[in-house]
Amino acid sequence: MPRKQTTKTPPRRPDSDRAHSSTVEDYLERILELINTKGYARVVDIAESLQISQASVTNMVQKLDAEGLLNYERYRGMILTTAGQTLALNITRRHQLLTDFLGLLGLEDNVIYRDVEGMEHHISAPTVRAIEALTEQLKRQPALLERVRTAAQQ
Amino acid sequence: MPRKQTTKTPPRRPDSDRAHSSTVEDYLERILELINTKGYARVVDIAESLQISQASVTNMVQKLDAEGLLNYERYRGMILTTAGQTLALNITRRHQLLTDFLGLLGLEDNVIYRDVEGMEHHISAPTVRAIEALTEQLKRQPALLERVRTAAQQ
DNA sequence: AAAGAAAGTTAGACGGGGCTAAGATTATTT
DNA sequence: AAATAATCTTAGCCCCGTCTAACTTTCTTT
Ligand SMILES: [Mn+2]
Ligand SMILES: [Mn+2]
Ligand SMILES: [Mn+2]
Ligand SMILES: [Mn+2]
């Protein structure tokens, strides 16, 4: 084995370059959803919904409070700050877009849910726009979609 | 705030349900790439390529060895096991597919690279097939793609 | 064959995000 | 108003993947 001979491969973008972790995005998304459906987000509900212990939720909620994404009052409740709402709406939008998009391709709901829950954290603004535009166009091409669904079947 | 009133939200799939972490997939992908381009994967090259310290690479390589994804000989070198190769090829395929797909939509290379590097870990087999089929069809629809690119531009 | 340089390893630490057990607080029953 | 149940918090722990500093091994020069 010869030594050295440096390779150049495209640089990675460490997770830390993103403003917030996937975990934080998932919490905010769920908190917004709870607030929208039942009017408030309780620790116990978030825990149940994310399948995580209450203790872990309390931890994270305190952290989100410290980061200014929500205002939390011990034992009482929480509300999203403007920053938190913005992020929550943003991730929700990406979630919805990907769900719609994969739905057009004829995938099963549980597959869609699983994949979207991961992918949603990794599509940047330009990609969101591109997929939005694509989805728009695809809706007008039922024949093409039918071919895709059939081909993807087996 | 009233108490209780249990909500039902779709369950999450914890990272641990996946056979291997995103990190492991990234290492394997890069190791395979290095082996293909220069014939061998050295700790120093992996480190440089992933922008990670050599110490961290040594750690992970030992772990991958322990998990049977590669055979590593201290100070000497490593080769992928069959299991490791399978995984490496699999993630490479997903990387390539997503790169092609997003390329069709007219996104910039650096955006594509960044998003793909994250998304590739979250598309299951059925989704791979669906996007493959879609990509196939889209290649035959230059007019549609032109509309997508234009719409996504602003 | 040294000596210096490069590559690799180990040790110890850290932050993120999860858990359980135990205790504190708040809500609901009786 | 107690007593009980539900909810929430704290403390202490763990695993993952990363880092730096120091040390070892291997390679390249001279
Ligand atoms: Mn998610
Ligand atoms: Mn989501
Ligand atoms: Mn990746
Ligand atoms: Mn990749």
Domain boundary among B39, B63, B85: B85
CATH of the domain at B117: 1.10.60.10
CA distance B87 to chain A (A): 18
pLDDT reported for residue B19: 83
CB A139 within 8 A of CB B147: no
The verdict on residue A129 lying in a domain is yes
Condensed to tens digits (0 to 9), the pLDDT of residues B1-38 reads 443 332 223 333 333 345 899 999 999 999 999 999 99
How many angstroms does the Cα of residue B28 sit away from the middle of ligand 4?
10
In chain A, the number of structural domains is 2
One-letter amino acid at A148 equals V
| Model confidence at A72: pLDDT above 80 | yes
A146 touches chain B (CB under 8 A): no
Gap from B33 CA to C9 C1', Å: 24
Compute the distance between CA of residue B108 and CA of residue B115 in angstroms, rounded to an integer.
11
Using the Cα atoms of residue B94, residue A119, residue B41 and residue B70 in order, give the sign of their dihedral.
Answer: negative
Do A132 and A95 belong together in one domain? yes
Compute the distance between CA of residue B48 and CA of residue B50 in angstroms, rounded to an integer.
6
Q: What tokens does B8 get?
A: 């039902």
Do A72 and A129 belong together in one domain? no
One-letter amino acid at A78 equals M
The verdict on residue B4 lying in a domain is no
Gap from B94 CA to D26 C1', Å: 37
CATH of the domain at A37: 1.10.10.10
- SS3 category, B140: coil
Q: Is the CB of B61 under 7 A from strand C?
A: yes
B129 pLDDT band, cuts 50/70/90, is very high
CA A101 to chain CA centroid, Å, is 14
Nearest alpha carbon to residue B112 among A8, A130, A89: A130
Do B31 and B59 belong together in one domain? yes
pLDDT reported for residue A18: 61
A146 exposure class (CB count in 10 Å sphere: 0-12, 13-18, 19+): exposed
Q: Note down the domain range covering B136.
A: 91-153
Compute the distance between CA of residue A12 and CA of residue A126 in angstroms, rounded to an integer.
18
The verdict on residue A135 lying in a domain is yes
Q: What tokens does B53 get?
A: 């310290």
Condensed to tens digits (0 to 9), the pLDDT of residues B31-85 reads 999 999 999 999 999 999 999 999 999 999 999 999 999 999 999 999 999 999 9
| pTM for the model | 0.89
Neighbours of ion ligand 2 (CB under 5 A): A 29, 95, 120
| Model confidence at A51: pLDDT above 80 | yes
Domain boundary among B85, B103, B133: B85
pLDDT reported for residue B13: 38
Rounded mean pLDDT of A62-73? 97
Condensed to tens digits (0 to 9), the pLDDT of residues A73-88 reads 999 999 999 999 999 9
pLDDT > 70 fraction of chain A, expressed in percent and rounded: 88
Q: Tell me which residues of chain A, numbers 82 to 101, contact chain B at a CB-CB cutoff of 8 Å.
A: none
The verdict on residue B140 lying in a domain is yes
A150 pLDDT band, cuts 50/70/90, is very high
pLDDT reported for residue B53: 98
Q: How many helices (H) and strands (E) does chain A have?
A: 7, 2
Do B110 and B144 belong together in one domain? yes
Rounded to the nearest 10°, the torsion over CA B102, B107, B110, B111 is -80
Compute the distance between CA of residue A88 and CA of residue A106 in angstroms, rounded to an integer.
27
Do A97 and A141 belong together in one domain? yes
Do B28 and B81 belong together in one domain? yes
